[in-house]
Amino acid sequence: MRAAVFFAISVFGLVTQLRAASAAGWQEELAVIERDGAEKQAASAMLLLSELSDLKQQADAKQETMRSFELDCLISDCESILNEAKKGKIWRPKNQNVAWTDLCREAIGKRWKLDGTRNVVGFRMNGRALSLALASGTESTNPKSASIVPGVFSVPMTTMRGWTVYAVSPDLKQARCIIGTEIKQNTPERAETNPTAPTELPAPTATLSPIAEKLCKLLRHQQIRTATTTSQLLSAHLAQATKDGNALDAQAIRLQLIHAERFLESFHAAPSTLKTPSPKAPASWVFGGQQVSFDGTTLRRTDDQGNISATEVEVIWPGLIVSRSDRVCIAYSPDLRDALLISYHNHFDGELAE
């Protein structure tokens, strides 16, 4: 009864705030939802973090490597929620979160060696952090190098402009080191369907205590509730902006709506539903306004004037293709929705170390 009354008061308070903000525009209404959601999620995340930390200590003491990894993932989520809540913002996992977690789990204990490189001779994945094996015999860790594409890391160069990209194949047997001059991320598209809140949440992969499991479910329900409210709000404003012919507002709202819908959509995706894209699957992306399509053998690029250029590509592995004539690589996610266009001047082969 108390919980029902508290929820009713919370909803009434949120509605009151939204009415006050509605006159100021959709940005203010969105900010109200974010602040309210961040406050509730932070309270749950703080309690859950304490419980998970105790479970992690127990797993480490028993040398339960896989369970420790699963708990690490949940702890990282809680810490991200708390960090964003300090700014009055909601934390939303990056796209491909499930695929990244699956890959990191399978990569535990594995290393890859590179051929032909000088300073870096190999690497390993430490969760989503990249640890480079240097020729000097030391190791360098890059904690924030994971890209939007699972298995692809990008590290900025220190001596010149550009990036060093390290990539691992979906089967973990191959690797590449790509020396890139520029990296472009594709413009995300709206979810194919308008996702709704799932009726049942998947159970956490890690074995949790009863308290942690209840807190985890509570946190997920809070995230879904906020994402659903956000999606409904933005959909209504997008329809109004489109009706009014306000193209700039519509574009800004659409981008926010994409993030909300894809986050909501992620709760419907079962882990490991798709690990490897088909090498022949047709795909299309937009990089900086330029349309790029791939039919399994040919890469077609459309410039601002509508001119189309077509080049044959080499499929390094499903998820990484290279056009040697254009000197570009494209790395893309298993569901084909996220991609990186990498302009390069050199790349090196690699393989799983025995």
Residue found by looking up tokens 């939204």 in the block: 18
Cα separation, 334 vs 325, in Å, equals 25
pLDDT digits (tens, 9 = 90+) for 293-329: 998 889 998 877 788 889 999 999 989 999 998 999 9
Cα separation, 299 vs 313, in Å, equals 6
Distances (CA, A) of 123 to 177, 240, 345: 10, 50, 21
Backbone phi, then psi, for 335, in 5-degree steps?
Answer: -90, 5
pTM for the whole thing? Answer: 0.74
Cα separation, 139 vs 136, in Å, equals 9
pLDDT of res. 270: 47
Are the CB atoms for 177 and 165 separated by under 8 Å? Answer: yes
Element (H, E) at 112: strand 111-114
Element (H, E) at 164: strand 163-168
Classify each residue of 178-192 as buried b or exposed e, where b means 16 or more C-beta atoms within 10 Å of its C-beta. bbbeebbebebeebe
| CA 228 to chain CA centroid, nearest Å | 19
Whether residue 16 has pLDDT greater than 70: no
Predicted confidence band at 280 (pLDDT cuts at 50, 70, 90)? low
Whether residue 158 has pLDDT greater than 90: no
The backbone region for 301, taken as left when phi is positive above 0, alpha when psi lies in -120 to 50, beta otherwise, is: beta
Cα separation, 34 vs 85, in Å, equals 9
Residue found by looking up tokens 């459309």 in the block: 302
The closest alpha carbon to 114, from 182, 168, 183, belongs to 168
Q: Which residue has the higher pLDDT, 119 or 266?
A: 119
**Other CB atoms closer than 10 Å to residue 281's CB: what's the count?**
13
Whether residue 188 has pLDDT greater than 90: no
Cα separation, 327 vs 311, in Å, equals 11
Residue-wise DSSP of 263-276: HHHHTTPPTTS--S
pLDDT of res. 353: 93
3-class SS string, 326-340: CCEEEEECCCCCCEE
Q: To the nearest whole number, what is the mean pLDDT of the chain?
A: 83
Are the CB atoms for 157 and 163 separated by under 8 Å? Answer: yes
pLDDT of res. 3: 43
